[in-house]
Structure formats: C-alpha cells, structure tokens
Structure 1
Amino acid sequence: MEPRESYTGTLSYIAICLSMLCGGTTSLFATYGSSFSEVLGFTQYETNLVASLGDYAHYMSAPLFGYLSTRIGPTRVIQSAAVLMFCGYMGLSYSFKHFDTAYEHAHHYVATMAMLFALVGVGSKAAYMSSMATTARNFKHSRHSGIALGIPNSLYGLSTFVFSSLKARWFESDQTPYRYLAFMAFVSLAAHLLASKYVVLRETQAAPRKRATSLAIKTNAPLSPAVATSGSVMSPLHESFEMAETRKRRMTVSVANEAGHADGDVAANSTLPALPVDSTAIDSRSATHADQPYNGHGSGADTPPLSAATMSPLSVAVAANPAQPREESALARLSRDPIAWALLMGIICLSGPGLAFVNNCGSMVRAMSHNTSLTEEQIGQYKDKIVATQSFFSFFARLVVGYLSDLWRTRLRLPRSGLLVIAGLLMVYAQNTAARVSRLEDMYPLAVLIGTAMGSTFTLAPTITAETWGAENFGLCWGVITLGPAVGGHICNLIFGSSWDQGLFNIISRLGKDAPQDRMQCTNECFIPAFRTTAKISYFSVFFFTVVLCLPQATAVWKRRWQKQTK
C-alpha cells in the first residue's frame, strides 16, 4: 500500500471512530427520561412509549441506511445523520423549555416528543450503518476483521459513558434538560460533518482495472499500457471471455445447489472446462466474417456457418449457455437462510430485556431512592453513574470480545457463535439479578452485567453477518438483522411501563387517596414483575444462539451422510 493511500485509510478510520463516538447517544434517554414525568407530566407508560417509538425508528431505518451506504457511499449518509440528530435534539430542547405546562393542560405532547426522539434514533442509525458498512468492506480481506469492527463498535457503546459524564459535570444542576439537549445537538452536527469530510470507501486494486477494461470493450478502444500490462489482462476480448467464464461457473454452482442432486453438486472452488477459443482468430478478427452480408433469413448461401474461430469469445460463451438463471439477491438468500432467522430471533430475545434496563434504569434509581437521604442532585448524579457504568462496560466488552473472537476463530478454529451463547447466558443471569434488586447498590453489578452482555452481542453479531453473507452485502443484511432490537425493545419497554403503572396503582389503592403525596411513589415492587417476565424472554436467546452455533455443523454432517447414501 502506498504511503498516501495508507494515510487516507488511517484518516478515514479515525473519522469513522469519531462518527461512532458521537452517534451512539440514543441510550442517553435514561439520563433525561425521568424529566418526561417530572416536567411534562407523562405517565411511565407514555415515557416508555416515547422510548419504544424512538427505538423503532432507530432500528427500522437500518436496512435503508445499509443500502444507501452501499449505493451512494458513506459521506452523504453521515451528513444526513448530522442533520437528523441536530433537528431531533434541538426539537427536544425547545420542547422541554416551552412545553412545561403539562399539569395545566390535558395534552401531554406524546406524539411530538416521540417524533423528535425518533429523529435522533434515525440519525444515530444512519451514522452507525454507514460506519459499520464502510469498515466491513475496507477490512473484508483482513485476518483481524473482528477487532477492526470492534473498535468503532466499542466507541458507539462508549458514547453514552462520555456524554453522561459531561452531563454530570456541567448540566446536573439544571432543572430541565433543555441546555444539555441543545449541547448534544451542536456536538452531533459538528462531529458528523467533520467525519463525513474524511471517510472514504477503499476499492480493491482490481476495481480500477475492471472499469478501464469495461470502458475499452464498450468503445472498442485499446487498453492503456498500465492496464494492459497489469495482472492477467491481455485484451478487452480476453477480459470479456474471462468475465463470461467466471459468471458461468458462479451460476452453475448456484443452479447445482438449488437442484440438490448429488451429480449436480459443484464445490465453491471448482472450475469448469474452458471453451476452446482460437486466440489467433480472436486477435485478427477475420475480415471475411466481418464483411459477410446477411440475407434476412438467418441461413442460406450468403450466410456462412459460424464457428468458435469466427465468433468473439463472449459470443461463444453465450452460445454455449443460451439461458442462464440470474443470481439470487442477497436479501432473498438471507430470507431463506434458517441461520439468519435464528440470529434475528436471538437478538430480539437478548436486546429486548437489555434495552428495558438501559431505557429505565433512571426510573429504577429514583424508585429506590425514596427511602434514602439523597438530595435531588445526588439522585441525578447516581443515575448518571449507573448509565455511565453500563456504557463503559458495553464499550469494554465490544473491544475485548472483538479481539478475543479473532483468536477464537483463527487460533482455536471455533465458530464465533459460541461466544454468542455465553453472552446469552450472561443476559439470563442479569435479568434474574434485576428481579431481585432491593438496594441502590445492587444497580452497579446489574449495569456491569447488562453492559457486558449487550456489548458482546453487538460486536459478535455484525462480524458473523459479514463472514456469513459477505462484506459486500453487509449493509443490507446487518440492517435487516438489527430490526431485532426494535421489536424486542418495544415489547420489553411496554412490559416495563405496564408493570410500573400497575404497581403504582396498587400502592395508591393500598394507601388510599388521602395519603401524603410523598408516600405515593413507586418502589422496587413496580418493576420486579417486569424483570421476571423479561428473564423468561432472555432464556430464548440462549436457545436461538445455540441454533446458530449448531445448525451449520449439523447441516454439514447431514450433507455428508446424504452424499454417501446416494453414491
């Protein structure tokens, strides 16, 4: 690699890391989520509805931005992220500053706040998908693809830690979060516009040569000396023949796999016999054949019979293969792959319980602080520390697991999905721990467990996606699979909100309407039933990740036995 190209690649990677660091701020909702009830008078169900709709917008937009990152490049997508996040955060800031009249009016502005938070979520996902898709393609031939994806991914998890720490230092004394949200708007805009200036998608060395050859074929012009002498490129017609042969081999493999017959199975690295072509005739391009008239009937004395010596190599290949089926699209292959469905379901069942804690840990801290002597400012600082702890261990897990998964794969020759099963077991333990929380001090180990499980999963899953369905299809395939957290997060957030409101209703019914207002507060009994339910959901993640681990090996064993029986 030339020094200038190496410098450009390094600068692009740094720009990707900056975009990811300032893009993963949707989890900051926990640091100001309680303000929806304190300032705007939302119920917990309405607050969780805002969080769920934001998560839906965040994850549902993933396939779109994955496709756009491949289609138009990462620069414009990151610029779109800058605009979307700026508009979302500025809108939220304006709302908290001017919509603080919830107790005087019945309207709670739920739809407005949900739409504004959705803009933040969509912008965050745009930055994430463009950065991850670019990294996957730039490092698709590297042995260290796991750590290459893990570093920006870990910074995406560290984002919440960084900005929650800044909030605790500079904005904790504010009564409403409007100044903090305005700060986030300008930081997001500046960081993503700066990143978009330097991020580039590196091309393989063969790509410029293929474009030059294709142009020479269309214009019937000679190749430039630099292109003609590079690699195995001899002439445009030879290049056409090579492309036709490569396409024929790839399609034959696809057809044989679809047919499922033993005699039709073609190995991925097998080659078909080359078509006989007279290179002398190709280069000379027989003038006799070029000057022959056509009688309008396709045969006769005026039209000599065509042979391989008088046809161009591409015509020979087409004549030998008159009707070749089209290659199946990446989305079609993904939708028919049971491994993809198992991975999607596993992420739904793991991320849903995890997001229920991430979005509501601030409310949990407030619920368990009523029987303490902490001031409002100390409660806010405690809440920010819990969010920062979860974010830091998510960052740490993404970084370490990315490196360990490379060793796991290259040194031990084990599938990365085995580590997914371990992450699922960790989430099961975390959810059962959450169902037994009774003190504020119990929140720290819970934040560590959930941060580690979530960080590990969202490092391993994209790497597995790139390896299984190809780095060139990563944007679309990973975009589809990341729909899982939207579904899981919405379900578990609504479970938490319903449990919270039901618990508060039970407390009010037990104390009576004449009880003091300070006693009508939720305690841990408002959220423990929710975590008992989400713990059961997390068990299914272990099952589905086990399917992802075992299904390829089981399929390979079944195919070998089937081939032996048919011989």
Structure 2
Amino acid sequence: MVLFSATLQPLHYTRLRLGLACLSIVANSLTAGGVFIFPMFSPVLASQLKLHQPQVTTIILAGMIGQYPFAPVVGKVIDLYGPSTCSLTAATFFFTAFISSSLEISKTSVEITKPSTSSFYRLTFFFLLAGLGTVFSYFSSLFSASKLYPTHPGLAAGTTMTLFGLSPLLLSFIGSHFFVDSSESLDAASLLKFLAILTAVIHTAGAFTFRKNFIKYADASYIESMDNEAITETSPLVTQITPVQSTLASCDGGNSQHPLKDRYFWFLALYCSITIGAAEMVISNIGTIVLSLPNRSTIVDMPFQIISSATSKHIKILSISNTASRIIVGFLADFISPVTTCLPIGTVAHPRNKRASRTVFLTIPALLLSIVFFWMELGGDDRGAVWILSVGVGISYGAIFTILPSIISAVWGGRNFGRNFGMMTYAPFVGTPLFSYLYAFVSAANSQGKAICEGSLCWRATFWVSCAACLLASYSTISFWRRWRDQV
C-alpha cells in the first residue's frame, strides 16, 4: 500500500463523481435553511390566518426545537446507514413540511375573523418536520464532506457550515425578489411550494451522490492501492511524499468508553453550553442591545429608519465575522493542529509536524468572549462600542462550531461520530435559553415601564455573569489540553 500526494486521484473515484458529490454538498447546504426565513411568513400568518403572536412564536419554536433534541438520533442514523439515507429523509421531511404549509395557507380564506386552532396545530407540526429536515440535511452534508476530505476535517466542516449559514441569506433573497408583488406583499403559499420542490429535488439528488459506493474512497491526499499489489500489514509506505503516517489500528479513538461515561465529555458539554449559549444570547438580542444605547453623533431621538439601519449593520457584522471565522479557523486548525484520523479503509493516520494542540482553538474563543463582554462593561456607553462585541461574538461562535467535529471524532472515535456530535448539540440547547432568559429578566427589571430598556443597566449584570462564565470555560480547556494533547 502506498500513500499518494494530494494531486493524485483516489482509487475507483473519478473526477466526475468527486465533482458531483461536492456539488451536492454545496446544494444541500445552501437550501437547508428554509426554517430560518420564517420571519418572512410571520405577517401572512398574522394577517391572513389571524394567528396571535404567541401562536406565531410557537410555530417557529417548533422548527427550531425540531433540530436539537433529535440530533443524536440523526447522528445514529448516519452512523448506521450513511449520509445518503439522511439526505433522502431530509427531502421527504422538507417536501412534506413546505407543501403542507403552502396548502394550509392557500386554503384559508382572508375573510376569517378568528384564528383556526386546527390550522395553528397543523402549522406547528409542519414546521417541526421542517426542523427535522434541517438537521438531517445538515448532517448529510457535514459528514459527506468529512468522508470526502478526512485529512482536512476542519476546513471541510468549516466550509460546509459556512454554506449552511448562507442558506437563509440565499433563500430570503429569492423570496424577496421573486415572490413579492407590486404592493410589497409576500406570496407565502407560492414561496413555500417553491421551497418544497427545490429542497426535494436537490436532497433526492444528494441521496444518489452520497451513496457508499459513490463515496468509497475520498480525499485525494489519501490511499490508493497498487493495481497488482496486495494490501497487507507489511506493505511499505512511501513516507517521503505523504503528510501522515498510517497504521492498522482501531478507529474507536483514544477513548474506548462511551462518551457519557467520560467526565471530559461532560466538561466539554459544559464548555459548549457556556460559550455557545452566551454567543447565541448576543446574536438573538443584538437589536435591543444596540437600541439600549445612545448614538454618539446626536443627542436627539433617531428616526426609526436609522435605528433599523443600525441594527441591520450589526446583524451583517455578526454574519460576516462568523462566516470568515469558520473558513480561517478550519484552515489554520488543519495546518497547525492536524488530528489523528480514521481512514476509509479502517486504518488510523497519525499526523506529522503537529505544531500545537487543537484545544487552543477552544481556549481562544472563550477568552475572546470574556474580553468583549468585559469591554462592554468598560466602554459600552454608546452604539459605536457594540461593533467590537459583534465581531468578537461572530468570530468565537464560528470558531467553536468549526473545531468541535474534529475534536469529538479524534477523542471518541469516528465509528459513532454522528451520535457523539449529536449528543453534544444538547449543550447549546440548554445554555442558550439560560443566558437568553438571564438577559430578558435583567432587561425587564431595568426597563422602567418602557417598551425597550434604555441604558447599560439593561445588560450589565448579564455581561458580568457571561464574562465570568467564559473565563471559567477558558480555564477548563487546560484540563482538555492535558488529557487530549496526544490526540488533538
């Protein structure tokens, strides 16, 4: 057996198949965020279906909740049956959810005066299915990318996550440009029907390109057998042209026990709960954080349009810094901290020239979060200071999600990678509500009867708690480094 450089093609894997698989990953990722453009449908549900705000909120929560709790189940499915099955399942859920929602809206008369309880329940269920479709699609793309490029897990994960993050932007652009009439009203039923067809076609195609015999040997930097040479444990390795050393070994990772029996898995879950929870608290409340502070350029009240522009600017800053972080961190992690990888044929590749432990990419985001929270305590007197918070949170959020998959795979093995990664997603499911409700209660306590809380007291206590918690999370990574430095 020999190891070839990245310029050679893997065995039984043509350029066409590689291209189609990559194209499917891109297409799946860019069309999987339909549930995140729900705000476009909110006015229609309120005006045409006469749904109250709590009902509208419940429907979108069903879409969001449909992702987190079922992630371990989806992970187990992908471990057992592969990304092809997940992509086909996503196609089924998306089509059912979107076409049913379209029919529900189109059949409801604009003449009704009271909300239909049955419509509310049905739409809640349909968006729950859309949430399930989202996580199936996400896992199918992420793990297909990991199989295609196992020597570059950080870059593969970062690129896939970046495309997934761009999905709401693309779909909202399509909706606002092609499904809005002259009166600026959204044709929600037609847009949902379009999403149903689009996601069904793309994810069904993905089911074919993600088949096991289609992605049999991935990553051109890996293994190719000599046509006339049998592969044995004593087969020579051409070490001078390969970045890794390979040995026949177990692919169960350095820790053979179940992750839930490993205290370090719980420590990592606590780390994710704190850092991701604090970051998502800021992301979901950046608008009211901005509006709580005065504008340095004027002492008079700002027009609503300018206020909206200020809020939109920070949403864009968060998005751009998050996207850039995923790409840059993925590349740097693979270059500075290559991880031990399980190869498609069952051997383990040990990296060479490891310059630092990958746990440093957990330490830095936690430290950065604590710094930007502390900065807001010291310098958060006007809206001009919030951009540092937005940049810091965006970078940290993207970095953590980019580095997590490779660490989980290297520490607890690739055999149950999907299940283990899915279990870890419960951490933000717990952390985000905790930090978000802390922010909400502190803000409400200092609102003085106003609709929007004004002044730094609206979030000062929340940011002190968040700063301390992120410092604790950063300190905890020292124990990760001591335990995992040989693996990551």
Q: Distance in 1 between matches of 2:434 and 2:104?
A: 27
Matches within 5 A, 1:65-464: 65-89=74-98, 115-140=125-150, 142=151, 144-164=152-172, 174=184, 178=188, 182=192, 184-201=195-212, 202-203=215-216, 231=230, 332-362=257-287, 371-375=301-305, 385-410=313-338, 411-432=353-374, 444-464=387-407
Question: Secondary structure, in 3 states, of the residue corresponding to 1:472?
Answer: coil
Contact persistence 2:253–2:409 (CA under 8 A): no
Please, which of 463, 474, 478 is the counterpart of residue 542 of structure 1? 474
The code of the aligned residue for 1:20 comes to S
Q: How many residues align?
A: 431
Q: Structure 1 residues 354, 232: CA separation in 2 closer, same or farther (over 3 Å shift)?
A: closer
Q: Structure 1 residues 270, 5: CA separation in 2 closer, same or farther (over 3 Å shift)?
A: closer
Q: Distance in 2 between matches of 1:349 and 1:9?
A: 38
Superposed displacement of residue 188, structure 1: 3.4
Please, which of 408, 421, 426 is the counterpart of residue 483 of structure 1? 426
Indicate the RMSD between aligned Cα atoms, in angstroms: 4.8
Q: Distance in 2 between matches of 1:543 and 1:164?
A: 40
Matches within 5 A, 1:468-547: 468-499=411-442, 502=445, 506-507=448-449, 520-523=451-454, 528=459, 530-547=462-479
TM-score, normalised by the number of residues in structure 1: 0.62
Q: Distance in 2 between matches of 1:483 and 1:450?
A: 20
Superposed displacement of residue 403, structure 1: 0.5
Superposed displacement of residue 473, structure 1: 2.6
The code of the aligned residue for 2:410 comes to E
Superposed displacement of residue 542, structure 1: 1.7
Rg comparison, structure with higher value: 1
Superposed displacement of residue 123, structure 1: 1.7
Contact persistence 1:40–1:100 (CA under 8 A): no
Q: Cα deviation per residue 1:39-83 (whole Å; 9 max; x = unaligned)?
A: 85536xx88776665444312211111111122221221122233
The code of the aligned residue for 2:304 comes to L
Q: Distance in 2 between matches of 1:442 and 1:168?
A: 32
Contact persistence 1:82–1:189 (CA under 8 A): yes
1:295 match: none
Q: Distance in 2 between matches of 1:67 and 1:526?
A: 45
Superposed displacement of residue 346, structure 1: 0.9
Q: Distance in 1 between matches of 2:159 and 2:375?
A: 29
Question: Secondary structure, in 3 states, of the residue corresponding to 1:414?
Answer: coil
Superposed displacement of residue 414, structure 1: 0.9
Superposed displacement of residue 91, structure 1: 6.2
Contact persistence 1:165–1:384 (CA under 8 A): no
Q: Distance in 1 between matches of 2:367 and 2:400?
A: 11
Q: Distance in 1 between matches of 2:313 and 2:443?
A: 23
Structure 1 unaligned blocks of 5 or more: 206-225, 234-238, 243-267, 272-326, 509-519, 556-567
TM-score, normalised by the number of residues in structure 2: 0.70
1:552 match: 484
Q: Structure 1 residues 96, 371: CA separation in 2 closer, same or farther (over 3 Å shift)?
A: farther
2:222 match: none
Q: Distance in 2 between matches of 1:61 and 1:340?
A: 19
Contact persistence 2:28–2:141 (CA under 8 A): yes
Superposed displacement of residue 413, structure 1: 2.3
Identity rate, percent: 19
1 or 2, which has the higher helix percentage? 1
Superposed displacement of residue 119, structure 1: 3.0
Q: Structure 1 residues 161, 6: CA separation in 2 closer, same or farther (over 3 Å shift)?
A: same
Matches within 5 A, 1:12-91: 12-24=21-33, 28=37, 40-42=51-53, 54-89=63-98
Superposed displacement of residue 352, structure 1: 1.0
